[in-house]
Structure 1
Amino acid sequence: MIHLARLSLLTVPLTLALTLALCAGARAADKFDDKFRQLDELLPTASSTRSASGAPGHAYWQQRADYKLRATLDEANRAITGAGTITYHNNSPDTLHYLWVQLDQNMFRGDSDNRNISTIPSRESWQKGGPEGVKFDAIRFAFESRVFEGGFQLKSVKNADGRPLRHTINKTMMRVDLPQPLKPGQRFSFALEWRFNIPEASVLGRRMGYERFDQEDRNDLFEIAQWFPRMAAYYDTYGWQNKQYLGDGEFTLEFGDYDVAITVPADHIVASTGVLQNPREVLSAAQRERLERARKSNKPVLIVTQAEAEQAEKTRASTMKTWRFKANNVRDFAFASSRKFIWDAQGLKSGELDVMAMSYYPKEGNPLWEKYSTQAIVHTIEQYNRYSFDYPYPTAISVNGPIGGMEYPMISFNGPRPTKDKKTGEPTYSKATKYGLISVIIHEVGHNYYPMIVNSDERQWTWMDEGLNSFLQFLAEEAWEDNYPARRGEPRDIVDYMKSRNQVPVMTNSESVLQRGPNAYGKPATALNILRETVLGRELFDFAFKEYGRRWKFKRPTPADFFRTMEDASGTDLDWFWRGWFYTTDAVDVRVDGISEYTISSQNPETEKAWRRKMKQAEPVSLTDQRNKGMPRRVDAHPELKDFYNRYDDFTVTNADRNKFAESQEKLEDWEKALLSSGKHLYLVDFSNVGGLVTPLVLEITLASGKKYIERIPAEVWRYSPRKITKLVVTDEPMTGLTQDPFWETADIDQDNNAWPRKPAPSRLELFKTERGGNDMMKDFNTPLKKSEPAAKAGQ
């Protein structure tokens, strides 16, 4: 119900009257909580390396590491033997006395922290309705992790002249002591030899491993990453990034050039970061011809057909081949190898650069992979280029294997594949599998932009790559087809998570994040979508987001650099937004508390007293007056008792009223007279911020004629009163309804309190038959005692 009243604008000055009304909610707040205070106390101070605008400073620097590596795949023993040289460039202003190297394979050691800190669901969760016991997979993991001989077996660490270097291994990190201090501008080369056993991906693997095909053709498929000792990052805001690799926090690495030789069985096909340098040595003439044809094709061309891959599966080569690849200005290197691979490719343009989009998959991936994989790669590059920068690498690869989804420069590992129909034995796939494949390819190929090029520190902040990439994934999915079943990005899809109590802020270190998917992927992606659609608008947001990519490609940004760039390039103070969405676990929940209607008093007695008479007549007749109707009255029996006040009621206009009105009109200016006669309808709408996260108001206003319109109010409406506010709404005709957030665009967690008058929440009432036997007095006696109950209960 909307309460109706008359607002007199002559009793107090106009601006004061409105101010008093709008601030009514502010006085109700018992304690002021400044949701708009600046982030200065949270963000690092700007410096010569990172400017206050969010751009790299004039003294920005970053280290570099070049690699010359060779690896041999021991297929029979499922192991990698490697050797190589690392050249480390000290571009910092600091003198270094030692270097830190990442030994991430050591996570697979039986005594690693990753193994020792692993847990199973607690007993409390069982008692609250959780799983009653431990899954086979968890037990298998615990057993296998203690018998699997994982981790790097370092054979040697030597300097350029072959002398051993002192080094100390600390779990997944290794310190290399320099024979002499490495001064600014100098470089240092050292050589390593190593070996490690490849974990089985479905049992122990984390982002790499092998897949068995025992029941099919007794072949393996290898996806190899973290396969060589990699230089740890050293940068201005953190120094050496020496957080141990526990499994959740991913990687931050230095850019460099790679020259890599990969030796595998001669019948294997290798997919890899970089560009193949020796196609004549490893590819047939037919394969080379198909590859050249694919460069100019507008659809995928098969380089290795399914028939050829199936034939290769039947035999085992007795010789080895070496595939040579080079990759420039990348931060990592990964590859995949198997004789099972079907291979297709298609060329595309990225700006002025020719790019090859390529997919590698076993026959078990068809018919899904041959139809969608390479097409999804091309689509990803086209869409991400729009919002970031032109893809700068010559290849982009999607590999189907045991890893569900993982990214490396130019190559990604993606899992979804069809299943066999139980009746026909033919491969088939569900809708979820189809779109799951397209989405994971978009996501993992998209990671080339964030963090493979915009090189954020994943070991510190998962959201900086996963959240930003999930947001761009959502935009790319929307461009794939209408009604694409996207999982993350729409505000309504994050509501259940925002309601939950088991949350931590987005700005939480990677290893401490709870509910990794919604926290580091879904919530930041949703926040950016709201920032784009509701807060800034597409034009301002897209310009600022693209500027962030332009500023920080091939550099290492921090969260502060992102926040500051988005504000700088959009020309908007967004500290309230970052604070609420990224530093708290508050939720959006705006409640419409009520509406009071006011019409403007014209002060004309002829109009105003007629209006009051009408209001009086509209009031209900009291029960007493109803029962007294027709009763004898004294004044009716004695008419001489009636006087002037009996002849005229309270709503009669007198000459005094007219004179007073005339005098007041002489004091008004023309615009004030026009306002008094405008007939506008004024509504004071009361809102409460129940969830704590301030948000713009999006009001859908419905008028008596049925017309609807949207009024958008910036989040700053909450600046002086973050809990309760009263907003003035002016309409040309009576308002019959108001809805806050009508399009569900702000992730409001309770839509039931967003409308006035309240709208009934539609739901289904489940009907069921009442069980018979309600009068069975022997029921409890006849019920068997549950094994989990104490025997003493039988006598109660």
Structure 2
Amino acid sequence: MRYLIILITLTLSIGAIAQDIPVYSGKFNAIDRLLEPPSPYRTASGAPGEDYWQQRADYKIKASIDENTNELVGEETITYFNNSPHDLKFLWLNIEQNVNRKGNEDFGDVMGGVKDSISSLQMQYLVRPIDFPAGTDIQWIRDANGKDLDYIVNNTLLRINLPQPLMSGQNITFSIKWKNYITDRAKFLLSREGYEYFPEDDNKVFLLGHWFPRMAVYNDTEGWQNKQFRRLGEFALEFGDYEVELTVPEDHIVAGTGVLTNESEVLSKVQRERMEKARQSFEGQLFIVTPDEARSNEAAKSTDTKTWKFSAKNVRDVAFASSRKFIWDAMAVKLPTNTVMAMSFYPKEGLPVWTEESTNGVKQALEVYSEATFDYPYPVAISVNTSNIGMEFPMISFNGGRPVNGQISEQARRGMTSTIIHEVGHNWFPMIVSSDERKWMWMDEGLNTFLHQRTLAERYPQWSSTQPKDIIPFMMGDQKTLRPVMTNSDNDLLFQMGANFYQKPTVGLQMLRQTIVGKELFDIAFKEYANRWKYKHPNPSDFFRTLEDGTATDLDWFFKGWFFTTETVDIDLAEVKWFQLKEEQATVENKQQKGNTKRISGSGKSASANDFSDGPQPFTLTPTSDGSYGQFLSRLDESKMRDQLSGKHIYELTFENKGGLVMPVIIEWTYADGTKEMQQLPAEIWRLNEAKVTKTFLKEKEVASIAIDPNQQLPDINMTNNVFPRKEQTDKFEEMKDE
């Protein structure tokens, strides 16, 4: 009964202020209900569980290119290991080339639809009036004994109906023969593979990605990942070992995933000697095929063929590029646990900038990403030049950016180098930390862009890199059309995709590292995530939980707001009060800045006065009554308190959350003597009131002005309400907009 009386007393005592308590929206509630629950496969800490499993597929592939018909014919043998606890009655494989067949989504309407004037290329995107062969033709599928297996093609997916279930713990070997129609990349929007034609010398560069039937993922949280490929949501694949034989015209140079195992058969003696020197060249690249040699190759087209053989271990895919136009340079990159050959392949149209930037860009990415996560484990990292693309595969990437008549602007040079770094970086996310791109694009694009921008900032300081303020225009967009980051890849609007899946997660991680958690703890936790899930299949919950596990920081409020909503950051310095104790009167002065009723955009109420010029006004500092101490017998030394307050300044600041996202509050105090002080309040100050918070500060010196987040560590969408005096901030914000 005694405790009930106390509770009733407390309830009555706060009743008078109850009307000021806002409706609680639960921004600081746990996000458990938004994530799949922990299981023996995935723990509550974000690590793989003791019963975690994943499937595996090994491939032996033989394929050939006919450059006259633009066809690739291939035959593969797949050994698929069922490591799941389930028996499988059928298998699903990806055949993404079928997306290029007429009738599939090609996003032509994003070009604006039919107008009174429309280019032929736009019309081709819209309705493909000029049709051409595309896609994959399956010729047969047979078991290890040569017996035909029943199968069904469903657009970009292939289902194999097994004559008897593949039991848990068993494996199956089967073979597929197929043909791909290699398409002209210029005829597709968002084309990642095909050939690029060069009319001047009548040659092609073949870029072959997702070019063979590949096993779909089967996992513990989804079963079969058998979502159709619609160009945006990319690939979810199993790891395995590959042995690949590629037959191409004899004068072609081939760049491919893996180690070239028959150098003596496909490279000249001079080329092999150059490769040996390049393997010891750590300071700069050497030519394996020189520009002059590449020009000679262009002139004479061989009718004979040559077979290049590659071996790749523990990768989830293989890709290759083939052309007689290729210049080839290479250098060695020494990492703490591995030496990697960084290489570039490019036509003469890439000169001179590709020689200057490409292989060096590969090196910079290898070093920064390895330091941030784990050492790059593969033997090669390759950058191939093409047009209008940036596309990643294990150990090899296809990257756009070229000079015009040998000249390139600094902006274009930055864009080209940035693309190379980004696509090489995808070796970590998702080629090794193998998240599901088809479902959660942000898990690979966002995490990769975060490290890609870090590489630019650290290794190319002369160029700009993404900062939190860069996401402001996107976050200020129409809330009716904005999607949260936690949107499936194919469900986002095409024009929002870059901001939502690349830039916004990048800014979120930058804020965690630089402002919310701090570099030391964040870097440890981020590296822990990468190492926990390398060669495995993480989900968003595994990432969120690992960051919390590794930092001992409750970040549910951040993940919920930043990833699951489209709310904005807009912290309004709504009110400023100034207090000062005057010894002779034994009072506390108070000056609440009022009187100026001019409305400020974004404030939502009357603004405070423009400055502190009127000075403080007195309030009485009264002794504490004995009753306020309850049963405590000790008392405050009120004389000492007056001494501590003597000549000092008390400022009471009221912050209003106008945007919805709770964030730390970063305060810059500028004092009357011109000195400055930075102070940061944690996001937890919003726990009891998510809309409005008042904090009181004791300062030795008189304050001249106050600025909230002046360096824009947070993407505050309205800087006009961030500073007192208010007019000073309005002027500063206008200057910033002009810049």
Q: Using the alignment, how far apart are the partners of 1:437 and 1:208 within structure 2?
A: 18
Give the conservation status (yes or no) of the 8 Å contact 2:362–2:382. yes
Question: Deviation per CA, 1:100-148, whole angstroms, max 9, x where unpaired?
Answer: 0111011011133x25x7534668xx9xxxx875454321224547612
Q: Using the alignment, how far apart are the partners of 1:121 and 1:286 within structure 2?
A: 49
Partner SS, residue 303 of structure 2? coil
| Cα distance, 1:660–1:101 mapped onto 2, change above 3 Å | closer
Give the conservation status (yes or no) of the 8 Å contact 2:486–2:564. yes
Give the conservation status (yes or no) of the 8 Å contact 1:69–1:83. yes
Q: Using the alignment, how far apart are the partners of 2:694 and 2:247 within structure 1?
A: 72
2:534 counterpart of 1:564 = no
Question: Deviation per CA, 1:669-711, whole angstroms, max 9, x where unpaired?
Answer: 5643222222232111111100101000000012222221011
Q: Residue 321 of structure 1 aligns with which residue?
A: 306
Q: Using the alignment, how far apart are the partners of 2:428 and 2:369 within structure 1?
A: 8
Per the TM alignment, residue 33 of structure 1 is displaced from its structure 2 partner at its CA by: 1.6
Give the conservation status (yes or no) of the 8 Å contact 2:108–2:125. no
Partner SS, residue 715 of structure 2? coil
Q: Using the alignment, how far apart are the partners of 1:495 and 1:231 within structure 2?
A: 40
Give the conservation status (yes or no) of the 8 Å contact 1:703–1:733. yes
Question: Deviation per CA, 1:398-455, whole angstroms, max 9, x where unpaired?
Answer: 00013520000000000101001xxxxxx10011111111111110000000000000
1:383-462 matched pairs, under 5 angstroms: 383-420=368-405, 427-462=406-441
Q: Residue 525 of structure 2 aligns with which residue?
A: 544
Q: Which has the larger radius of gyration?
A: 1
Q: Residue 683 of structure 2 aligns with which residue?
A: 715
Q: Using the alignment, how far apart are the partners of 2:164 and 2:586 within structure 1?
A: 94
Selected match of 2:579 from 594, 598, 604: 598
Q: Using the alignment, how far apart are the partners of 2:388 and 2:168 within structure 1?
A: 40
Q: Structure 1 length as normaliser, TM-score?
A: 0.82
Per the TM alignment, residue 354 of structure 1 is displaced from its structure 2 partner at its CA by: 2.0
Partner SS, residue 71 of structure 1? strand
Give the conservation status (yes or no) of the 8 Å contact 2:573–2:721. yes
Give the conservation status (yes or no) of the 8 Å contact 1:601–1:676. no
Amino acid at match of 1:238: E
| Cα distance, 1:660–1:164 mapped onto 2, change above 3 Å | closer
1:84-163 matched pairs, under 5 angstroms: 84-112=76-104, 114-115=105-106, 118-120=108-110, 134-144=118-128, 147-163=131-147
Amino acid at match of 2:731: A
Question: Deviation per CA, 1:722-778, whole angstroms, max 9, x where unpaired?
Answer: 111111121112222111111100111111110011123354899xxxxxxxxxxxx
1:287-302 matched pairs, under 5 angstroms: 287-298=271-282, 299-302=284-287
Per the TM alignment, residue 238 of structure 1 is displaced from its structure 2 partner at its CA by: 0.5
2:44 counterpart of 1:52 = yes
Partner SS, residue 498 of structure 2? helix
Q: Using the alignment, how far apart are the partners of 1:268 and 1:26 within structure 2?
A: 78
1:457-476 matched pairs, under 5 angstroms: 457-476=436-455
Q: Using the alignment, how far apart are the partners of 1:373 and 1:446 within structure 2?
A: 13
Selected match of 1:741 from 709, 715, 723: 709
2:509 counterpart of 1:532 = no
Give the conservation status (yes or no) of the 8 Å contact 1:398–1:412. yes
Q: Residue 557 of structure 2 aligns with which residue?
A: 576
Amino acid at match of 1:178: L
Selected match of 2:695 from 712, 724, 727: 727
CA RMSD for the aligned pairs? 2.8
1:646-795 matched pairs, under 5 angstroms: 669=635, 671-678=637-644, 679=646, 680-758=648-726, 759=728, 760-761=730-731, 763=734
Per the TM alignment, residue 41 of structure 1 is displaced from its structure 2 partner at its CA by: 1.1
Per the TM alignment, residue 469 of structure 1 is displaced from its structure 2 partner at its CA by: 0.2
Q: Residue 367 of structure 1 aligns with which residue?
A: 352
Q: Which moved more, 1:391-400 or 1:143-152?
A: 143-152
Same amino acid, percent of matched pairs: 45
Amino acid at match of 2:398: F
Give the conservation status (yes or no) of the 8 Å contact 1:209–1:402. no
| Cα distance, 1:733–1:671 mapped onto 2, change above 3 Å | farther
Partner SS, residue 545 of structure 2? helix
Q: Residue 7 of structure 1 aligns with which residue?
A: none
Amino acid at match of 1:578: F
Amino acid at match of 2:585: T
Q: Residue 66 of structure 2 aligns with which residue?
A: 74
Q: Using the alignment, how far apart are the partners of 1:720 and 1:285 within structure 2?
A: 74
Q: Residue 332 of structure 1 aligns with which residue?
A: 317
Give the conservation status (yes or no) of the 8 Å contact 1:415–1:437. yes
Per the TM alignment, residue 658 of structure 1 is displaced from its structure 2 partner at its CA by: 14
Partner SS, residue 145 of structure 2? coil
Question: Deviation per CA, 1:548-596, whole angstroms, max 9, x where unpaired?
Answer: 0010000000000000000001111100000010000001000111101
Question: Deviation per CA, 1:348-376, whole angstroms, max 9, x where unpaired?
Answer: 22332221100000010010000110011
| Cα distance, 1:24–1:554 mapped onto 2, change above 3 Å | farther
Per the TM alignment, residue 206 of structure 1 is displaced from its structure 2 partner at its CA by: 1.8
Gaps of 5+ in 2: 1-12, 596-617
Q: Which moved more, 1:24-33 or 1:581-590?
A: 24-33
Q: Using the alignment, how far apart are the partners of 2:31 and 2:539 within structure 1?
A: 15
Partner SS, residue 119 of structure 1? helix
| Cα distance, 1:234–1:764 mapped onto 2, change above 3 Å | closer
Q: Using the alignment, how far apart are the partners of 1:252 and 1:133 within structure 2?
A: 40
| Cα distance, 1:338–1:160 mapped onto 2, change above 3 Å | same
Give the conservation status (yes or no) of the 8 Å contact 1:110–1:149. no
Amino acid at match of 2:96: D
Amino acid at match of 2:236: T
Amino acid at match of 1:430: S
Q: Residue 500 of structure 1 aligns with which residue?
A: 477
Partner SS, residue 419 of structure 1? coil
Give the conservation status (yes or no) of the 8 Å contact 1:207–1:403. no
| Cα distance, 1:716–1:133 mapped onto 2, change above 3 Å | farther
Give the conservation status (yes or no) of the 8 Å contact 2:667–2:707. yes
Q: Structure 2 length as normaliser, TM-score?
A: 0.88
Partner SS, residue 419 of structure 2? helix
Q: Using the alignment, how far apart are the partners of 1:366 and 1:254 within structure 2?
A: 37
Partner SS, residue 323 of structure 1? strand
